[in-house]
Chain A
Amino acid sequence: MSEILVLVDHADGAVRKTTTELLTIARSLGEPSAVFVGAGIDAARETLVAYGADTIYLLDSADLTDYLVVPQAEALAQLVDRAAPAAVLVPSTPEAREVAARVAVKTGSGLITDAVDVRAGADGGPVTTQSVFAGGYTVEASVTRGTPIIVVKPNSVTPEQSPGAGVEETVEVAVSEAARSARVVKREPRTKSGRPELTEAAIVVSGGRGTGGDFSDVEALADALGAAVGASRAAVDSGWYPHSYQVGQTGKTVSPQLYVASGISGAIQHRAGMQTAKTIVAVNKDAEAPIFELVDFGVVGDLKQVLPQATEEIIKRKG
């Protein structure tokens, strides 16, 4: 079997769900090796092993966390040269995406971004599925040169446990002087909302212009469903909700099991961020809103009436 590198996404050892998805995909392609950058392996080990990491490469150096992207790319490229994996799977965060971009150039390898599915092709190599042009087309592709470097979108697969050997190996990395050129001088962790994280959530309830700036009904429905809250670009641009909650082309891309669009018209910008959701529900006053072309279930009505009634009913049914 061939080795598949998975770049672990974590916050001080708290492994994000996308990593368990990547490990699950890696198992279908070969033997997963987790690449763990930074401190916190003690908190991460159990999850990485549970989801199938046969090898865990440990890369810990201040250079890798004090500077963005470039040192990590150098380290990962060195590891790719040494381990000669059959593929590298990378989560779809802004930083990992750029690490992947640089590793591709450094190692002379093809790069595929935003894969929603990765499977073994006829020759055993990975074949990817991408959803492009705001979900309008499905593209199948594969890398033809070097080591396939694949950026995978969240919720591409349901993570499944299957313990791996979890052999740990500390990797010495040589970071060049040039890589220490853009320094992170300050890092302020975002305040946690207490709700599931937007890109990982199974259910997302989003609000748009139709909220008029009051997200309380959206948040109440989200909490009743155990969902994350999202916002349209119109709502974010109006200053009603923080940009980190924006769903759309220039915000987060989500593909949850259920997406509830409240007071969102469904412009192409927004659709690009949510069209791969399994089930789409919308509430909008305007029966002509383009969002209704996408929905599995829609309510034409005032979200200030419909959402609280739905929330109350859901709480009642949950007992």
Chain B
Amino acid sequence: MKIVVCVKHVPDATAQRRFDADHTVDRAGVDGLLSELDEYAVEEALQIAAAHDGEVVVLTVGPDQAADAARKSLQMGADSAVHVVDEQLHGSDAIATSLVLAEAVRKIGDYDIVVCGMASTDGAMGVVPAMLAERLGVPQVTFAAEVSVDSGSVTARRDADLATETIEASMPLVLSVTDQINEPRYPSFKGIMGAKKKPVQTWSLADLGVDADQVGLAAAWSVVHSVAARPPRSQGVVVTDDGAGGRQLADYLAEQKFI
């Protein structure tokens, strides 16, 4: 069984994230890491591979430093990595990203499952897995909170807004997983040392046969007019409970007409 897991390198959410002058996310000036939600995808891919004698290929699209996200995935246990890097990709929207991922998955080839996280922690759109399935023309099983895999199909539990659904689909397919699905492992010392010897391929847009005019900021299908740091919330009143804190809280809620 061949499993491709898509991962994204994102600015650290606990750092001071910001935008560049062209309204794209500053990916160079802020420390980055493997998107936390993608760790669940890597873990699930590793568990499925372990149970089904499979191999795990990590796929990432992004600038040079995105190689760190691939490396972390290799340290966790993935077998090999593909890093699509090209200056023309700067500013790509989800639509272009899904195109590049789809072409890279096709080039990797012969896959059974493509695993993704439920969303990135920077853009947080949560749409790339569906777009990828659309482009690959394979079933999508998304927002899975629990997965079981047998020889040719996947069954998943999906916690939708109003119901819990059980979904079934045949491979090959795209699977996206939530943070409810597993407990991602930490890379072991052996994993960290072993990752250094694992193969990492670097592909350009030309390697994928994707035209540069289909990707990047100029080709995005939406445009950002302005980005403004939200003014800090004006400092509110904080009282220390001296036995009447609850009544003070009720007073405040009454003043604000919530009661």
Contacts and interface: CB of A to CB of B under 8 A. Distances in A.
Interface of A: 11, 68-70, 73, 93-95, 97-98, 100-102, 104-106, 108-114, 127, 131-146, 178, 181-190, 199, 203, 225, 243-244, 249-250, 257-258, 268-269, 272, 279-281, 283, 287, 292-302, 305-314, 317-318
Interface of B: 13-14, 17, 19, 23, 37, 93-95, 98, 118-119, 121-122, 124-131, 133-135, 137-143, 145, 155, 158-170, 173, 178-180, 220-230, 232-233, 236-241, 243-250, 252-254, 256, 258-259
B130 A101 contact: yes
A130 B62 CA distance: 24
The secondary structure that dominates the B interface is mixed
Given A94-B160, A136-B229, A317-B254, A300 B221 contact: no
B163 A187 contact: yes
Given A299-B241, A318-B259, 12 more contacts: A101-B131, A104-B127, A137-B19, A139-B228, A140-B225, A144-B220, A181-B138, A182-B169, A184-B167, A187-B165, A225-B253, A310-B246
A137 B230 contact: yes
Contacts, number: 259
Contact of B245 (A131, A187, A199, A309): A309
Most buried by A among B163, B228, B230: B230
A190 B118 CA distance: 21
Contacts of A70: 133, 139-140
B236 A135 contact: no
Nearest to A11: B162
The 8 closest A-B pairs by CB, nearest first: A309-B246, A301-B241, A110-B221, A101-B127, A181-B139, A313-B250, A98-B130, A310-B246
Contact of A101 (B134, B179, B221): B134
B259 A184 contact: no
Nearest to B162: A11
Contact of A142 (B94, B222, B241, B248): B222
B43 to A, nearest CB: 15
28 contacts: A11-B162, A93-B161, A101-B131, A104-B131, A111-B222, A112-B222, A127-B225, A139-B224, A141-B224, A145-B222, A181-B139, A182-B167, A183-B168, A187-B165, A243-B145, A258-B256, A281-B249, A295-B233, A295-B236, A296-B236, A298-B237, A305-B241, A305-B246, A306-B245, A309-B244, A309-B249, A313-B247, A314-B259
Nearest to B247: A313
A307 B245 CA distance: 9
A215 B140 CA distance: 37
Given A97-B127, A98-B140, A109 B239 contact: no
A250 B240 CA distance: 32
B230 A135 contact: yes
Contacts of B245: 283, 299-301, 305-306, 309-310
A150 to B, nearest CB: 10
Most buried by B among A94, A114, A135, A308: A94
B159 to A, nearest CB: 6
Nearest to A145: B221
B250 A301 contact: no
Given A243-B180, A281-B249, A306-B241, A140 B127 contact: no
Contact of A258 (B133, B164, B232, B253): B253
